[in-house]
Structure 1
Amino acid sequence: MAEHDLNVREGAQAALAVEPVVIGNRRLTIEDVVEIARQRASVALSDDAAWRARIERGAEFLRKRLADGATVYGVNTGYGDACVVGVPPELVEALPLQLTRYHGCGMGRYLEPAETLAVIAARLNSLAHGYSGVRGVLLERLADLINRRILPRIPAEGSVGASGDLTPLSYVAAALVGEREVLFEGRLRDAQDVWAELGHVPLTLAPKEGLALMNGTAVMTGLACLAFARADHLTRLAARLTALCTVALDGRAAHFDALIFDAKPHAGQAEAAAWIRADLAGRDDTSGQRLQDRYSIRCAPHVIGVARDALTWVRRDIENELNSANDNPLIDPDGERVLHGGNFYGGHIAFAMDALKTAVANLADLMDRQLALIVDDKFNNGLPRNLSGATAERAPINHGFKAVQISSSAWTAEALKLTMPASVFSRSTEAHNQDKVSMGTIAARDCLRVLELTEQVAAAHTLAAVQGMRLRLAATQTATVPAPLSGFAERVTAVSAFVGEDRPLEADLRALTALIADCGLAGDVGSGG
Structure 2
Amino acid sequence: MQHPDKPLILDGSDLRIEDILAIAQGQSVRLDSNPQFRQRIEAGNQFLEQLLAEDGVIYGVTTGYGDSCTRAVPSEDLALLPQQLYTFHGCGLGQVLSPSMARAVVAVRLVSLCRGYSGVSMELLERLVWLLNEDLMPVIPEEGSVGASGDLTPLSYLAAVLCGERDIYVAGERRPTAEVYAERGIQPYQLKPKEGLALMNGTAVMTALATFAWQRADYLSRLAARITALTVYAIDGNPYHFDPQLFAAKPHPGQNLCAARIRADLHAPVAPRNSPRLQDRYSTRCAPHVIGVVEDALPWWRQFLENEINSANDNPLIDIEAGRVMHGGHFYGGHVAFTMDSMKQACANIADLLDRQLAQLVDTRFNHGLPSNLSGAEPARAALNHGYKAVQIGASAWTAEALKLTMPASVFSRSTECHNQDKVSMGTIAARDALRVLTLCEQVTAATLHAACQGVELRSQLPDSPEVPEQLAAFVAEFRQQFPRLGEDRALEAELRQLCQQILDRHWRLYDAE
Q: TM-score, normalised by structure 1?
A: 0.94
Q: Is 1:222 equivalent to 2:208 in the alignment?
A: yes
CA distance, structure 1, for counterparts of residue 366 and residue 186 of structure 2? 66
| Residues 241 and 462, structure 1, Cα contact 8 Å, conserved in 2 | yes
Q: 2:451 aligns with which of 456, 459, 464?
A: 464
Q: Distance in 2 between matches of 1:346 and 1:136?
A: 26
**Structure 1 equivalent of residue 496 of structure 2:** 509
Give 1:313 deviation, angstroms. Answer: 1.1
Cα separation, 2, equivalents of 1:201 and 1:493: 54
Deviations, residues 463-501 of structure 1 (Å, cap 9, x unaligned): 001010011111246532222212222332233211111
Spell out the pairing of 1:28-107 with structure 2 (5 A cutoff): 28-39=15-26, 41-107=27-93
| SS of structure 1 residue aligned to 2:481 | helix
User: Contact between 1:374 and 1:468, CA under 8 Å: does it hold in 2?
Assistant: yes
The Cα of 1:17 is off from its aligned counterpart by: 6.4
- Partner of 1:393, secondary structure, is helix
**C-alpha offsets along residues 83-142 of structure 1, whole Å, 9 cap, x if unaligned?**
011100000001101111110100111111221111111111001101001111111121
Question: 1:438 pairs with 418, 425, 441, which one?
Answer: 425
Query: Where in structure 2 are the equivalents of 1:484-523 lying within 5 Å?
Result: 484-521=471-508, 523=509
Write the distance in 2 (CA, Å) between the matches of 1:22 and 1:359. Answer: 35
Which of 150, 161, 177 is 1:164 aligned to? 150
Whichever residue aligns with residue 490 of structure 1, its letter is A
Q: How many residues align?
A: 512
Contact 2:7 2:30 in 1 (8 A): yes
Question: Is 2:147–2:425's contact at 8 Å kept on the other side of the alignment?
Answer: yes
Match of 2:375 among 383, 388, 392: 388
Question: Which 4+ runs in 1 deviate beyond 4 A?
Answer: 282-289
Say which SS state the counterpart of residue 429 (structure 1) adopts: coil
Correspondence for 2:220: 234
Deviations 1:34-80 (A, max 9, x none): 112223x2222122221111111111111111111001010110000
After the TM superposition, which of the residue ranges 131-140 and 489-498 deviates more from structure 2?
489-498
Q: Does 2:235 align with 1:249?
A: yes
Determine the structure 1 residue equivalent to 2:109: 123
Distance verdict in 2 for CA 1:340–1:457, change over 3 Å: same
Q: Measure the CA separation in 2 of the matches of 1:118 and 1:211.
A: 19
Structure-2 change in CA distance of 1:43 and 1:491 (3 Å): farther
- SS of structure 2 residue aligned to 1:497: coil
Quote the Cα distance in structure 1 between the aligned partners of 2:218 and 2:340: 13
Task: Verify the 8 A CA contact 1:16 1:42 in the aligned structure 2.
Answer: no
2:294 aligned with 1:275: no
179-188 or 459-468: bigger deviation? 179-188
Deviations 1:315-372 (A, max 9, x none): 1100101100000000122221111100000011111111111000000000100011
| Corresponding residue SS for 2:379 | coil
2:12–2:111 contact (8 Å) kept in structure 1: no
Alignment RMSD: 1.7
Equivalent residue, structure 2, for 1:21? 8
Moved more, 129-138 or 328-337: 328-337
Cα distance in 2 for residues equivalent to 1:262 and 1:216: 43
| 1:286 Cα deviation from its structure 2 partner | 8.2
CA shift for structure 1 position 16: 10
- Alignment match of 1:347 (pick from 334, 339, 349): 334
Whether 1:174 and 2:160 are equivalent positions in the alignment is yes
Aligned to 1:379: 366
Deviation at 1:162, TM superposition (A): 0.5
Conserved? CA contact 1:251–1:288, under 8 Å: no
- TM superposition shift of 1:377: 1.0
- SS class of match (1:397): coil
Distance (Å, rounded) in 1 between the aligned partners of 2:478 and 2:192: 53
Q: Is the 8 A contact 2:460 2:466 kept in 1?
A: yes
* SS of match in other structure, 1:109: strand
Tell which deviates more after alignment, 424-433 or 309-318.
Answer: 309-318
SS of 2:325's equivalent in the other structure is strand
Structure 1 runs not aligned, ≥5 long = 1-14
The Cα offsets for residues 223-242 of structure 1, whole Å up to 9 and x where unpaired, read as 11110000010000111111
CA contact (8 A) 2:315 2:330 kept: yes
Q: Which letter does structure 2 place at the counterpart of 1:251?
A: G
**2:304 paired residue number:** 317
Give the Cα–Cα distance (whole angstroms) in 1 for the partners of residues 443 and 48 of structure 2: 50
Rate the CA distance shift 1:199–1:288 in 2: closer, same or farther, 3 A.
Answer: farther
Specify the alignment match of 2:409 in structure 1: 422
Number of the residue aligned with 1:111:
97
State which of 347, 357, 363 in structure 2 corresponds to 1:370.
357
After superposing the two structures, state which structure 1 stretch, 490-499 or 391-400, moved more: 490-499
More displaced 10-residue stretch of structure 1: 356-365 or 288-297: 288-297
1:196, CA displacement in angstroms? 3.1
Say whether 1:528 aligns with 2:503. no
The CA deviation string for residues 278-305 of structure 1, in whole angstroms up to 9 with x for no partner, is 1112679889662211110010000011
Q: Find the counterpart in structure 2 of residue 413 from structure 1.
A: 400
Alpha-carbon contact 2:138-2:167 (below 8 Å) kept: yes
Contact in 2 for aligned 1:495/1:511 (Cα 8 Å)? no
Amino acid at match of 1:360: C
Q: Tell me the residue number matched to 2:179.
A: 193
Distance 2:269 2:82 in 1: 66
Check conservation: 2:99, 2:172, Cα contact below 8 A: no
3-state SS, counterpart of residue 158 of structure 2: helix
Given that 1:96 and 1:205 are in contact with CA atoms closer than 8 Å, whether structure 2 keeps it comes out as: yes
Return the letter of the residue paired with 2:488.
E
Q: 1:17 to 1:420 in 2, by over 3 A?
A: closer
Farther off after superposition, 246-255 or 164-173:
246-255
Give the partner amino acid of 2:144: G
What's the % identity of the aligned pairs?
Answer: 57
Are residue 447 (structure 1) and residue 437 (structure 2) matched? no
Distance in 1 (CA, whole Å) between partners of 2:198 and 2:322 is: 19
Shift of 1:18: 1.5
Secondary structure of the corresponding residue to residue 380 of structure 2: coil
Letter matched to residue 371 of structure 2:
P
